[in-house]
């Protein structure tokens, strides 16, 4: 808007004459001229940016001189979509008879502004119909496979199945995604492998056969038990290398191995995924191990300073095939501090299990 001149008010004691009396009118006329000039310039098409669309005068002119050829796509800015006449012509098909589907294709609509109404409706209907087999019309988008895809070969036997992210048109949360694997000629009625997990991907725990052809699919289930359709089955072949699961080392079934231990302490080590068809080779870089084949006792060595030691394990089937090696490193703490030949203090992380005696000369033996 233009900056208007303020009204200069009459001052008490000011001599009243023609100039004083006409001053408000003169100021009003000045402001009127400023407003008219601003409006005139706004109504000029060469002043308004092409990317901001038509000016007011252009719009009025088009309405006053309306004809089918005026509202064409060359006049309207491509950044702001179609003209009214373009939309009207598509509804009528150019013949005055309304049409709903044929004119609204992806080649007509602007790529900057997305799909037409019919295209959106088509996609929603397709989604809500399941987008494939088995959908319940719940509004869940049917997932699409990412890996492995049909034709993929040398897929690892412990493959991670991956599909597009979960999406619900009304933002209902997902309960889980169902993953299925079957032989390539199977029907998925009794799949070889099925698991439900609230994730877009899943690392299978079923060891696939080598040099074999399989297929897989997945679907989403929301918290209201609505289901998407099944994704399109993807047919793939496994590699020719035998996959032996790497040993998983733990303290017990529920506890991970520690990162530190005191010298001479004993640590229990469990191969939690032990499989008797394999032989396990367990090696230490310090200390002594006893036991086996699935559970070991590992006594920490005596050290003069904090020292890192490792335990490693590898599985083999006896035919020259090996798993990858699992290695765990921990630090053995030096807890002994020598003071003299006949007295010393040993500090540990916990109260010592044994008793101690206070001698008359004041030394403590632990």
Instruction: Extract long-range pairs of 321-330: CB within 8 Å, 24+ residues apart.
Output: 321/241, 321/242, 321/244, 322/244, 323/244, 323/245, 323/246, 323/247, 323/278, 324/246, 325/246, 326/246, 326/247, 326/248, 326/249, 328/249, 328/257, 330/257, 330/258, 330/259, 330/260, 330/261
CA 4 to the chain's CA centroid: 55
Neighbours of 243 (CB within 10 A): 17
**Peptide bond preceding 339: is omega within 30 degrees of 0, i.e. cis?**
no
- Strand 249-250, strand 279-284: pairing: unpaired
Interior/surface letters 74-90, b for 16+ CB within 10 angstroms, e for the rest: eebeeeebbbebbeebb
Interior/surface letters 33-70, b for 16+ CB within 10 angstroms, e for the rest: eeeeeeeeeebeeeebeeeeebbebeeeebeeeeeeee
CA 163 to the chain's CA centroid: 11
pLDDT at 360: 45
Listed in sequence order, the DSSP H helices in 65-181 are 84-92, 117-128
pLDDT at 331: 93
Report the alpha-carbon distance of residue 193 to residue 213 in Å, rounded.
Answer: 14
**pLDDT under 70: residue ranges of the chain:** 1-2, 38-138, 319-321, 336-366
pLDDT at 58: 63
Domains of the chain: 50-114 (no CATH), 126-237 (2.60.40.10), 249-338 (2.60.40)
pLDDT at 329: 92
pLDDT at 39: 66
């Amino acid at each position: 808007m233009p900056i208007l001149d303020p009204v200069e008010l009459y001052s008490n004691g000011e001599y009243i004459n023609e100039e004083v009396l006409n001053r408000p009118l003169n100021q009003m006329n000045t402001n009127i001229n400023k407003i008219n000039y601003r409006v005139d310039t706004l109504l000029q098409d060469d002043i308004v940016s092409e990317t901001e669309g038509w000016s007011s005068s252009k719009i009025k002119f088009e309405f006053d001189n309306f004809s089918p050829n005026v509202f064409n796509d060359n006049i309207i800015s491509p950044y702001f979509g179609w003209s009214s006449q373009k939309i009207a012509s598509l509804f009528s098909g150019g013949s005055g008879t309304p049409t709903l589907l044929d004119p609204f294709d992806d080649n007509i609509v602007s790529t900057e502004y997305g799909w037409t109404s019919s295209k959106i409706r088509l996609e929603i209907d397709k989604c809500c119909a399941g987008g494939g087999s088995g959908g319940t019309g719940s509004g869940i988008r049917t997932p699409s496979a990412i890996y492995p895809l049909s034709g993929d070969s040398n897929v690892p036997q412990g493959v991670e199945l991956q599909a597009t992210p979960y999406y619900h048109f009304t933002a209902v949360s997902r309960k889980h995604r169902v993953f299925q694997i079957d032989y390539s000629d199977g029907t998925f009625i009794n799949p070889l492998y099925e698991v439900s997990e609230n994730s877009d991907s899943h690392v299978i725990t079923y060891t696939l056969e080598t040099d074999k052809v399989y297929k897989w699919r997945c679907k989403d289930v929301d918290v209201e038990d609505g289901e998407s359709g099944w994704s399109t089955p993807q047919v793939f072949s496994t590699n020719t290398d035998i996959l032996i699961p790497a040993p998983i080392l733990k303290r017990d079934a529920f506890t991970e191995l520690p990162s530190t231990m005191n010298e001479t302490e004993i640590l229990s080590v469990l191969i939690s995924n032990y499989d008797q068809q394999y032989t396990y080779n367990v090696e230490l870089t310090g200390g002594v191990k006893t036991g086996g084949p699935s559970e070991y006792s590992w006594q920490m060595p005596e050290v003069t300073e904090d020292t890192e030691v490792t335990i490693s394990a590898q599985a083999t089937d006896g035919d020259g095939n090996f798993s990858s090696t699992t290695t765990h490193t921990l630090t053995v703490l030096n807890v002994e501090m020598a003071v003299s030949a006949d007295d010393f203090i040993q500090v540990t992380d916990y109260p010592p299990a044994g008793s101690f005696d206070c001698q008359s000369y004041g030394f403590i033996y632990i």
